[in-house]
Amino acid sequence: MDDFQYRNGQLFAEEVNINDLVASVGTPAYIYSKRTLTSHYDRLTEAFKEIDPIICYSIKSCSNLHLCKLLAERGSGMDVVSGGELYRAQLAGADMSKVVFAGVGKTDAEIKQGIDAQIGYFNIESEAEFENIAAIAQKMGKTTHAALRVNPDVADPRTHAKTTTGKKETKFGVDIERAKQFFKSYGHNPHCRPTAIHLHIGSPIYSPEPYVQAIKKALLLINDLRADGFTIDALDIGGGFAADYETGQSPAWTEYAQAIIPLVKDKGLKIILEPGRTISANAGILVTEVQYLKTGGSKKFVIVDTGMHHLIRPAMYEAFHFIWPTQVDPTQQPAKRTESPDLPGLELTDVVGPVCESSDVFAKQRPMPPVQRGDLLAIFTAGAYGMVMASHYNTNPFPPEVLVDGDQATIIRRRETYEELVEAEQQTQPVAIYS
């Protein structure tokens, strides 16, 4: 699962005691484990090695440059969804031929940036977007490649509605029924060559079955397109492999692989994967300090120094993140991360942040060891969609990001200051208005 484990009641990231680390870097702080991040990438690669896929790490899940670099060094490509993410992929030294660019609203500037960078594929989200990319490539005198994102009308019922993307009538992709017409219109375009099919059915997807359903539909389509004389040489099956928010919650990578490989091997297709959270989620925790304890009616609240501005997943998706003190009596060391641990001396607790919103709640009525002001809590599985979704709401600075490697730790993004928070607002300038 990951390298954030308790030893004698003390939480460690690899070989580093979290309380010792936090004594230096303060709270709140995102702390990542290099070993977890890289071993997840390696094990996923190993599980799929029979088909030698292009793995495009989904930068949106956790985009710190240093972490992207670690993956790029191992040969990972990148899945990007904005010019900013493409810029990060370039700075991280990713092989541009292994970059795929998704997103329903790519601007002209972003498209030019992608063509200039010679990325692998634009993942096409609509006919209008394809026409725009082809026109821009033509104007630039260049040729680019595209994967048509088809919407297979498949979903995992356990995926949150806000992160389900593969059903009809979401804004993503082109209905699979329109795919043949798409290729009739654009399949031989010389400036933007549609030579691949892309799927992304949502995330997290907690079993291989929805992938199997979606891939089967895509393969039927690919057969038909080939029969009609179109060249299709790659199938991108998107991201969405699950992470262990609770112990053992996500299928092993080998389970996904065993279901997917037999479907796609020997089909003359390069397979592309876009994993994000399955690599990064368990590689990070958010550490916070207890500020106050209070009661409200019969409830006991623990108020901490981070909130929805640093980790919005509980407020936005009712997402479960396991939360536990970084130092506990060894009898309260959690054997499993679960919503209802069965340990002695736990109390039902609401863990809340300081933001002026009633949704700023990390945990409701959770059995937890009693804590005091000044104690540290770890919010687990926060590596994906944590820091990347942080905001400055209530004028709160971003926390630092720290990377642990064995018994060493490095600040890979420093804590923001109040000065930095207001800096851009201090650079006012008159606007020339031409009528």
Residues that are catalytic: 356
Between the two ends of the chain, the Cα-to-Cα distance in Å is: 60
Alpha-carbon span 7 to 20, nearest angstrom: 14
* Own/partner long-range contacts of 342-346 (Cβ < 8 Å, ≥24 apart): 343/367, 343/369, 345/369, 345/370
Binding flags for ligand LLP, 239-258, as an x/- string (CB under 6 A): xxx-----------------
Alpha-carbon span 19 to 388, nearest angstrom: 24
Stretch of 68-76, 200-208, 355-363, 411-419 contacting ligand LLP, by CB under 6 A: 200-208
**DSSP E strand boundaries for 108-210:** 121-124, 144-151, 174-175, 192-198
Does position 200 interact with ligand LLP (CB under 6 A)? The reply is: yes
Minimum distance of ligand LLP from residue 261's CB (angstroms): 18
Q: Which residue among 53, 251, 276, 400 contacts ligand LLP (CB under 6 A)? A: 276
Site for ligand LLP in 313-352 (CB under 6 A): 313, 317
* Residue with smaller CB distance to ligand LLP, 102 or 352: 102
Minimum distance of ligand LLP from residue 58's CB (angstroms): 4
Q: Is 304 left (phi over 0), alpha (psi -120 to 50) or beta?
A: beta
* Residue with smaller CB distance to ligand LLP, 301 or 393: 393
Alpha-carbon span 157 to 345, nearest angstrom: 36
* Residue with smaller CB distance to ligand LLP, 205 or 368: 205
* Residue with smaller CB distance to ligand LLP, 384 or 402: 384
Look-up: residue for tokens 């479907």?
263
Asked if 55 and 100 touch (Cβ cutoff 8 Å), the reply is no
Element containing residue 284 per DSSP (H, E): strand 284-296
Does position 385 interact with ligand LLP (CB under 6 A)? The reply is: yes
Does position 61 interact with ligand LLP (CB under 6 A)? The reply is: yes
Stretch of 28-36, 134-142, 235-243, 399-407 contacting ligand LLP, by CB under 6 A: 235-243
How many positions of this chain bind ligand LLP (CB under 6 A)?
Answer: 22
Q: Is 204 helix (H, G, I), strand (E, B) or coil?
A: coil
Cα angle: 107, vertex 109, 114; to 5 degrees = 95
Minimum distance of ligand LLP from residue 100's CB (angstroms): 8
Q: Which residue among 152, 251, 275, 284 contacts ligand LLP (CB under 6 A)? A: 275
Q: Which residue among 110, 274, 360, 375 contacts ligand LLP (CB under 6 A)? A: 274
Q: Which residue among 36, 45, 144, 203 contacts ligand LLP (CB under 6 A)? A: 203
206, amino acid identity: Y
311, amino acid identity: L
Q: Which residue among 58, 64, 82, 326 contacts ligand LLP (CB under 6 A)? A: 58
**DSSP E strand boundaries for 15-58:** 16-17, 29-33, 54-58
Reading the block at residue 302, the tokens are 């623990």
Stretch of 57-65, 128-136, 255-263, 404-412 contacting ligand LLP, by CB under 6 A: 57-65
Q: What is the DSSP letter of 124?
A: E
Q: What is the DSSP letter of 393?
A: T
Stretch of 8-16, 58-66, 303-311, 372-380 contacting ligand LLP, by CB under 6 A: 58-66
Alpha-carbon span 409 to 114, nearest angstrom: 35
Does position 163 interact with ligand LLP (CB under 6 A)? The reply is: yes
Q: Which residue among 40, 106, 217, 277 contacts ligand LLP (CB under 6 A)? A: 277
Element containing residue 74 per DSSP (H, E): none
Minimum distance of ligand LLP from residue 26's CB (angstroms): 25
Residues facing residue 347 across a β-bridge: 368
Minimum distance of ligand LLP from residue 86's CB (angstroms): 14
Stretch of 38-46, 174-182, 276-284, 354-362 contacting ligand LLP, by CB under 6 A: 276-284
Q: Are strands 376-379 and 323-325 parallel, antiparallel or unpaired?
A: antiparallel
Q: Is 281 helix (H, G, I), strand (E, B) or coil?
A: helix
Q: Which residue among 77, 166, 210, 238 contacts ligand LLP (CB under 6 A)? A: 238
Which residue ranges make up the site for ligand LLP (CB under 6 A)?
58, 60-61, 79, 102, 163, 200, 203-204, 238-241, 274-278, 313, 317, 384-385
